[in-house]
Amino acid sequence: MVKIQVKNITKIFGPRSAEMLSKVKAGMGKEELLAETGHTLGLDNVSLSIGKGEIFVIMGLSGSGKSTMIRHFNRLIDPTDGQIIVDGTDVMSLNRKELEDFRRHKMSMVFQRFGLLPHRTVVQNVAYGLEVQGVKRDQRETKAREWIEAVGLAGFEDQYPSQLSGGMQQRVGLARALATDADVLLMDEAFSALDPLIRSQMQDQLVELQEKLHKTIVFITHDLDEALRIGDKIAILKDGKLSQVGTPPEILLQPADDYVRAFVRDVNRARVLTVDTVMQPPEWRITHDNMERALADMRRKGEEFGYVVENKEFRGVVTQEALEEEIAKPGDNPSLYEFADDSGSVDLESTIEEALPATLESDYPVPVVDESGHFKGVLSNEEVGSILTPPEEEVAEGDATEKDGSASGADAEEKKTSGESVKRAS
């Protein structure tokens, strides 16, 4: 379900921005516009569609227009042209009173340098949004205390912001934003000013809170690792233009242009990609517990090994060699379900990094199972290897991400043209 729809937003900074719009629409670029007219093109015809309950990350370097973008959602900045529709309401059509109401109840915001009121205590800061709404003092402070506890700052209620560390100050900022119960949370480089360790703690905390709250979060960052870590979807901005929108694996595996490609090159892909985006469907499986039949099947197909599955549930792997040995032994054959080796499987949700040791140790593609023990696919060394190689800039689109011929050239071409339409490999 779409929560926020951004339609063809263009923002030009300068005294005669409205007149410049036609020039931009005629195709004048950012540099040309600046050189000729002294106007800065902040955003150039950006359209986005943000789903309810999503963490939507807008990523770009400084000057890419990402901070300008996020300020359009609650109209801290007015666009030169375009529409923003939140829950079916065109934000542009709101008058001042309605806009204040909209900001009070629909959206709240977390700032890069926290934006806390230095002359107020933590609890007064967290209660600020409610105070603006006109909520009574004891009511709003009770609520503020709940949120302070939820972000792990209990005991610091009566301190001033300057007494807290950066990470704690940003928790106050987060609690303040959450206290108004707005559906949409705007986070403008919220964690960029923090130490790396604190930053990753805050990222975890955000993801954890999100699992409970199911807000729609628009998150701005210049850090691709952060974007990949927390984002359900990522939009990449360059010079006010949208380069690509997609899920983290799509951004990593099918970068739309050289700009995105340059970005993803330095990313630790093994830590970002999960097994389910890389694994292949199993070519065949053994779905009974008869050893001799299994061995016969293997010989006929020329397979060295097979994956044993009982009612979709994964029971283990057997090799031809092991079967031959076991059958040659005197006495009854044991059940194949019991005999199969189920020690070397990897979890569907784990990252490539976590799955790597099991993959390297194994002589055959490692079986992949989901939470309920169902057999989902296999992961081979070759696939892992090809995924960890960053895409080459010289190589034509899509080739570098092609694996085992499963993505044909035409397929990859299509993915390139419509990055949004690609679903996760699972």
**Judged by CB, which is closer to other proteins: 117, or 154?**
117
Residue 79 CB, shortest distance to other proteins, in Å, is 17
Measured from the CB atom, the residue of 96 and 423 that comes closer to other proteins is 96
Q: What length is written for the chain?
A: 426
Shortest Cβ 139–other proteins spacing (Å): 17
Site string for other proteins, 97-136 (x = CB under 8 A): --xxxxxxx-xxx-xxxxxxxxx--------xx-xxx---
95 touching other proteins, by CB under 8 A: no
Supply the minimum distance, in Å, between the C-beta of residue 100 and other proteins. Answer: 4
Which is closer to other proteins, CB of 164 or CB of 267? 164
Residues 181-220: x where in contact with other proteins by CB under 8 A, - otherwise, as a string = -----x----------------------------------
Residue from 17, 40, 74, 203 touching other proteins (CB under 8 A): that is 74
Measuring CA to CA, which residue among 56, 26, 61 is closest to residue 44? 26
**DSSP code at position 280:** B
Long-range contacts of 58-61, Cβ-Cβ distance < 8 Å, separation of 24 or more: 58/218, 58/219, 58/220, 58/221, 58/234, 58/235, 58/237, 59/220, 59/221, 59/222, 59/223, 59/224, 59/227, 59/234, 59/235, 59/236, 59/237, 60/222, 60/236, 60/237, 60/238, 61/222, 61/238
Hey, which residues between 388 and 417 contact other proteins (CB under 8 A)? none
Q: In whole angstroms, how close is the CB of 185 to other proteins at the nearest point?
A: 11
User: Which range binds other proteins by CB under 8 A, 38-46, 55-63, 93-101, 194-202?
Assistant: 93-101
Q: What is the 3-state secondary structure (H, E, C) of 105-124?
A: HCEEEECCCCCCCCCCCHHH
163 with 112: CB under 8 angstroms? no
Closest separation in Å from C-beta 42 to other proteins: 16
Q: Which residues pair with 374 in a beta bridge?
A: 313
Least distance (Å) between residue 235 CB and other proteins: 21
Beta-sheet pairing, 184-188 with 216-221? parallel
User: In terms of C-beta density within 10 A (0-12 exposed, 13-18 middle, 19 or more buried), how is residue 344 classed?
Assistant: middle
Is residue 224 within 8 A of residue 59, CB to CB? The reply is yes
> Of 42 and 255, which has the nearer Cβ to other proteins?
42
Task: Report the candidate in 354, 200, 361 with the shortest Cα–Cα distance to residue 278.
Answer: 354
Q: At its nearest, how many Å lie between other proteins and the CB of residue 71?
A: 8
At closest approach, how far in Å is the CB of 131 from other proteins? Answer: 8
Closer of 127 and 323 to other proteins (Cβ): 127
**Dist. CA 133–CA 333, nearest whole Å:** 75
User: Distance of alpha carbon 341 from its chain centroid, rounded?
Assistant: 35
* Binding mask of the shown chain, residues 155 to 174, with x at each position contacting other proteins by CB under 8 A: ----xx-xxx----------
> Which spans of this chain sit near other proteins (rule: CB under 8 A)?
74, 76, 99-105, 107-109, 111-119, 128-129, 131-133, 159-160, 162-164, 176, 180, 186
